[in-house]
Amino acid sequence: MENNTNFRRFFGASLTILGVVVILFALIAFLSDGKPVMGFSITHWEAAVPGVVGLVFLLTGVNLVRES
């Protein structure tokens, strides 16, 4: 049981960090005004997709850490 709890905390922390990184990328892409960001040309509407995915990762990771 203890091993499962540690795995859930590790996986939750990893998802949380990944969510924060993806949200930061989406924010930088949103503010770039169509200029390439890390080699990607992303418009304002296209920046919403990684923002939503990052938000899902962040909330899932926080929930996993909180419940274990």
- Using one digit for the tens of pLDDT, what is the confidence trace for 1-51? 677 888 899 999 999 999 999 999 988 888 887 778 778 787 778 888 889
Distance of alpha carbon 9 from alpha carbon 65, whole angstroms:
5
Cα 57 from chain centre: 5
Q: How many domains does the chain have?
A: 1
- Predicted confidence at residue 18, as pLDDT, reads 96
- Predicted confidence at residue 30, as pLDDT, reads 86
- Predicted confidence at residue 45, as pLDDT, reads 81
Number of helices and strands in the chain (H, E): 2, 2
pTM higher than 0.75, yes or no? yes
User: Rounded to a whole number, what is the distance in angstroms from the first to the last CA of the chain?
Assistant: 11
Query: What would the mean pLDDT of 39-64 be, rounded to a whole number?
Result: 88
- Predicted confidence at residue 1, as pLDDT, reads 61
List the domain range (segments joined by +) for residue 36. 2-67
CB 7 within 8 A of CB 67: no
